[in-house]
């Protein structure tokens, strides 16, 4: 089953009178969504108790939970202290994921703004291998670490880099951010063929079984020559990419990812729009 859900809590959740993330799984279920990306992007500041409550609710309402790790993670850093801190952020997320029954931890590989891209990438691969080994020792089952394809030219996380990182270990599953890839490539994702070719590349390199339920982010993203500039809502049709050709590619390749919508304001509403487009295309094919 392809799952759809929001990144974080949209305004409509609060407008409906809700206050705590503990109420999110039930609310998502009630509006027809089945995934939720909990945001630890500004730091891992949730109590074990609250994480457990979210996890219990998510299980009750069959919501697949992922956690977005802090933005401060930088495995490309040449400073030992920053590398160590980056690793610790992931371990903290794993502890939260255990309580929250989260299956996926999404993280940005790091920056190459201050250092040669190749050097930063080699540092990142070494650090991520170490993280994988430590996480394995933490005896967590069913949790994947999901490095994300990035939208800015001075960030690590091109398609090729994410594939190479995922080859380090089975523990790693790609987060394919389609808006980011489109921004990074200056508008490379337009037609169904563009999406099919992109996804086939992942399948060829990482295998169909592993890719079948890959993790993903989707939103329209404005970009410049340097890549990603700003996230927009689905109704802002002047920005790319469109979801229809992606949905067609997913149906054609029989892929059933988790699709997290990262629209600017309407993450939940837009996740429902994407779900509707997807099922219309799926039903036409059946």
Q: Please report which helix (H) or strand (E) contains residue 159, including its range.
A: helix 159-166
CB of 18 to Zn ion, least distance (A): 24
Nearest-approach distance from CB 108 to Zn ion, in angstroms: 6
Strand duo 215-218 + 175-177: pairing: parallel
Alpha-helical regions (H) of 226-265: 244-252
Report which residue's Cβ sits closest to Zn ion: 148
Cβ proximity to Zn ion: between 123 and 149 the closer is 149
List of residues contacting Zn ion (CB under 5 A): 148
Pair of tokens at residue 90: 């992931």
Which one, 217 or 275, has the nearer CB to Zn ion? 217
Tell whether omega for the bond before 78 is within 30 degrees of 0, i.e. cis.
no
- CB 256, CB 213: distance < 8 Å: yes
CB of 284 to Zn ion, least distance (A): 32
Q: Return the structure tokens found at 165.
A: 């990182």
Which CB sits closer to Zn ion, 53 or 66?
A: 66
What is the CA angle 135-9-27, rounded to 5? 100
State the nearest-atom distance from the C-beta of 71 to Zn ion, in Å. 8
Q: How far is the CB of 137 from Zn ion (least distance, A)?
A: 26
Considering beta carbons, is residue 194 or 228 the nearer one to Zn ion? 228
Give CA–CA dist 77/71, Å, rounded. 13
CB closer to Zn ion out of 222 and 244:
222
């Amino acid at each position: 089953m392809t799952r759809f859900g929001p990144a974080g809590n949209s305004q409509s959740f609060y407008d409906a009178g809700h206050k705590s993330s503990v109420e999110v799984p039930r609310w998502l279920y009630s509006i027809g969504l089945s995934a939720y990306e909990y945001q630890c992007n500004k730091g891992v500041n949730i109590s074990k108790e609250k994480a457990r409550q979210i996890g219990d609710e998510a299980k009750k309402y069959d919501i697949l939970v992922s956690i977005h790790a802090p933005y401060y993670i930088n495995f490309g850093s040449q400073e030992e202290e920053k590398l160590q801190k980056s690793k610790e952020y992931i371990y903290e997320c794993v502890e939260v994921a255990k309580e929250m029954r989260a299956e996926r931890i999404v993280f940005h590989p790091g920056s190459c703004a201050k250092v040669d891209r190749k050097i930063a990438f080699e540092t990142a691969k070494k650090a991520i291998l170490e993280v994988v080994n430590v996480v394995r020792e933490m005896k967590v089952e069913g949790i994947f670490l999901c490095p994300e394809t990035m939208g800015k030219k001075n960030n690590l996380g091109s398609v090729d880099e994410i594939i190479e990182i995922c080859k380090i270990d089975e523990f790693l599953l790609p987060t394919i951010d389609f808006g980011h890839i489109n921004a990074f490539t200056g508008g490379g994702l337009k037609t169904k063929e563009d999406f099919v070719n992109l996804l086939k590349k992942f399948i060829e390199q990482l295998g169909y079984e592993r890719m079948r339920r890959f993790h993903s982010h989707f939103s329209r993203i404005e970009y410049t020559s340097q890549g990603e500039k700003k996230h927009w809502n689905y109704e802002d049709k002047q920005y790319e990419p469109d979801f229809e050709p992606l949905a067609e590619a997913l149906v054609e390749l029989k892929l059933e990812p988790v699709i997290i919508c990262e629209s600017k304001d309407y993450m939940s509403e837009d996740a429902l729009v994407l779900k509707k487009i997807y099922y219309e295309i799926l039903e036409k094919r059946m």
